[in-house]
A and B are shown apart, each in its own frame.
Chain A
């Protein structure tokens, strides 16, 4: 039990250090402040529109506008922060040689990586809480109903970010600069958001009967099964069109959590596999 505690303690200290360091990163803070301004601004702006018009239709539009802007803001800025921080924590430490002093201590490489990964997750969770919290308050003020659906959405968004974060982190462990992993992270996010189309490609393949068409279909099918499907985590349409306290529909939350965790574990294992023999 004591050994287990010792194994976990080191990563936790590294995680807290990573989190504290992350809070000082200007780019990250910039993204966060900007996102909070957009969410706050959207609420303020729609209040202004509301005063100039009358009727339920406008109020409904007003709310949809707020929701659309805020959900999009959380999604865009959240993923930028996720990719930026996941892509940079390890390469930055190699670049500024902090890693030498850490790995020369009784810290195994898997512990170091786990600590860094945990620290990244703390930063992502904090950002999501701040952005989601502000949106939550704005919605509550507008509708006087607790927007529980938003909480579910933020919860699922975290698992979406977790997948992108884990895979970006793994690539960052092979890189000496944060540029390549950042580009790769964006690629993963964009591809993961379009995975549903691969299924369409598979469903429509083979109709011409040509081997090439069939092959493309199989490749699309394999990719559809391997790549994360990030669209599954989105409750955006429901948030915009439903009541704020409606339960989430069309999603199986426990399965999505497991789905996210599987990708995260795979990402971490890949990161460790790359990093275990990496010379720093």
Chain B
């Protein structure tokens, strides 16, 4: 995706080591990270807890400092410059906003920090409230907000300056399915408007639904990165047969076939390669089954995630 564009976020051998004690003990949170996020894409940044996702985000935002390596955002290495900061919107995980403020007051405060004032700020507040569907609650104190509403206001504050890049840390965690769907729709809409989104998340299904590219991080190392089409390939195929009578499933399994499902007279078998495919077809033909269709099976992001982590664990134990 978009490889003909220059990346808007680029890290080169980015490494972060934390000192954890008085005895000079150190923990490597991030090891030689080479990450590229391209314009107008949603990049799903995945990994289990403690894998280094939040560390990466904090490094990109200049909240912590790299041990080695470099970061380039929008073509500049000066990530602390007003130019870069004005073009980044950030939603932290489980972000806190003071209860004594109203929704629009929060946005006013953050908008002012971007240098927005007067009518320009007022107009922008109206726009982002409309975008996140919070216009009706703009004059309510935050203490009366539900979790979903707080997350929307969080998203609105990230969008207040109309930034080119959005960095979102667990944007849908803890939300109910409807709120998740709504947030997902907003994020897709933003991507369609040309924004670049880096989303750190545990919600694999959500990420799979909206991301163009994903990266899986484990123990500070980026294990895989690419488009979903590149990553979720599999030679597995599902073959559907009709005319299955009682006992045929048992018979197929006894002869080495892998039945994944049976619905009425239909059986579904999984094969991993061409050799297996021909063998299964021959077997089923001999059993009097009628071939209906052969479908290539796409791996899910969850399967990829588990496989990548398992592989990393195996490599470590070697």
Contacts and interface: CB of A to CB of B under 8 A. Distances in A.
Contact of B113 (A97, A106, A277, A280): A106
Contact of B110 (A97, A105, A277, A280): A105
Given A6-B115, A9-B115, A101 B62 contact: no
A105 B63 contact: no
Interface residues of A, number: 24
B96 interface: yes
A24 B100 CA distance: 8
Contact of B61 (A13, A100, A108): A100
A183 interface: no
Interface size class of B (residues with CB under 8 A): 20 to 34
Interface string B146-164: 0000000000010001000
Contacts of B98: 21, 24, 98
Given A13-B113, A104-B85, A96 B96 contact: yes
A96 to B, nearest CB: 4
Interface string A88-128: 00000000111011111111100000000000000000000
Interface in B35-64: 58, 61-64
Interface string A6-47: 100110011001001100100000000000000000000000
Nearest to B64: A279
Interface string B246-265: 00000000000000000000
A20 B82 CA distance: 27
A224 to B, nearest CB: 34
B112 A13 contact: yes
B63 A97 contact: no
B112 A100 contact: no
A20 B63 contact: no
Contacts of B112: 9-10, 13
B63 A98 contact: no
Contacts of A102: 113
A122 to B, nearest CB: 16
B28 to A, nearest CB: 15
Contact of A97 (B86, B88, B95, B115): B95
Main secondary structure of the interface of B (DSSP, over half): loop
A103 B92 contact: no
A103 B161 CA distance: 15
Nearest to A21: B98
Contacts of A20: 100-101
Nearest to B113: A105
A105 B100 contact: no
Contacts of B7: none
Given A13-B112, A102-B113, A108 B100 contact: no
B94 interface: yes
A107 B101 CA distance: 21
B114 A105 contact: yes
B63 A279 contact: yes
A104 B82 contact: no
Given A20-B100, A104-B85, A106-B82, A277 B65 contact: yes
Contacts of A107: 85, 113
Interface of A: 6, 9-10, 13-14, 17, 20-21, 24, 96-98, 100-108, 277, 279-280
Given A97-B92, A279-B58, A279-B64, 17 more contacts: A6-B115, A13-B112, A24-B98, A97-B95, A98-B97, A100-B92, A101-B90, A102-B113, A104-B61, A104-B63, A104-B85, A104-B88, A104-B90, A106-B82, A106-B113, A279-B63, A280-B64
17 contacts: A9-B115, A13-B113, A17-B109, A20-B100, A96-B96, A98-B96, A100-B63, A103-B61, A103-B63, A105-B113, A106-B82, A106-B113, A107-B113, A108-B80, A279-B63, A279-B65, A280-B64
Interface of B: 58, 61-65, 80, 82, 85-86, 88, 90, 92, 94-98, 100-101, 109-110, 112-115, 157, 161
